Amino acid sequence: MKPMTKPAVFLDRDGTLIVEHPAPASLGDATMVTLETTVVPALQRLQQAGYALIVVTNQSGIGKGLYTESDYERVTQRLIDLLADHHIGLTAVYHCPHHPTHAHPPYRQACHCRKPNPGLIEQGMQAHGITATGSWIIGDRLTDMRAGQAAGIPGILLLTGHGPHDAPHWHRVAPTLLDAVTQWVLPGRV
């Protein structure tokens, strides 16, 4: 068996890659997809450095009936298209539609894929030959950081999205995605 040696940056979607609007239903509206500032140069640098770019996102709005899987897919495709305009390709996008208490059956469940659990990260690592060594998770919530910890990868909390609320509770914080990449990820790359 071939050893896994490729690192990745696992990225939260809402509040990290795209602007999160106040109404939860907007997360299923592709017309509202806007990239957070500095996403393009940050991802370009990561891509040039050889990182796999894998999105891991909780989407309990599906399970709550706020938007559909089809709506989610349209938002994802819009994100992919916006990044492709800048020659950025995502390696994969994984989502969890579940919620342990506030979703309709069959989505009402405590699952291994919902962050802070590491299931989405583990799925990406397994499917794409990713090693924890050299990999990172970047997001705007403590749940992202806890998922990274559970998967054995360090996390960087952004001050975009919900980050200002969670920042006092995390040790590695950056104002933007580009700051996270230039201050933490790339300097550690050998």
* Domains in the chain: boundaries: 37-188
CB 43 within 8 A of CB 50: no
Is the bond preceding 106 in cis, omega lying within 30 degrees of 0? yes
51-100 pLDDT, tens digit each: 999 999 999 999 999 999 999 999 999 999 999 999 999 999 999 999 99
Q: Out of 22-26, 57-61, 114-118, 148-152, pick the least confident.
A: 22-26
Which is catalytic among the residues 14, 71, 140, 144?
14
Task: Enumerate the β-bridge partners of residue 52.
Answer: 8
Which superfamily, per CATH, for 37-188? HAD superfamily/HAD-like (3.40.50.1000)
Asked if 14 is an active-site residue, the reply is yes
Give the Cα-Cα-Cα angle 81, 64, 13 (nearest 5 degrees): 30
pTM score: 0.95
State whether the Cα torsion 165-170-174-180 is positive or negative. negative
85 is catalytic: no
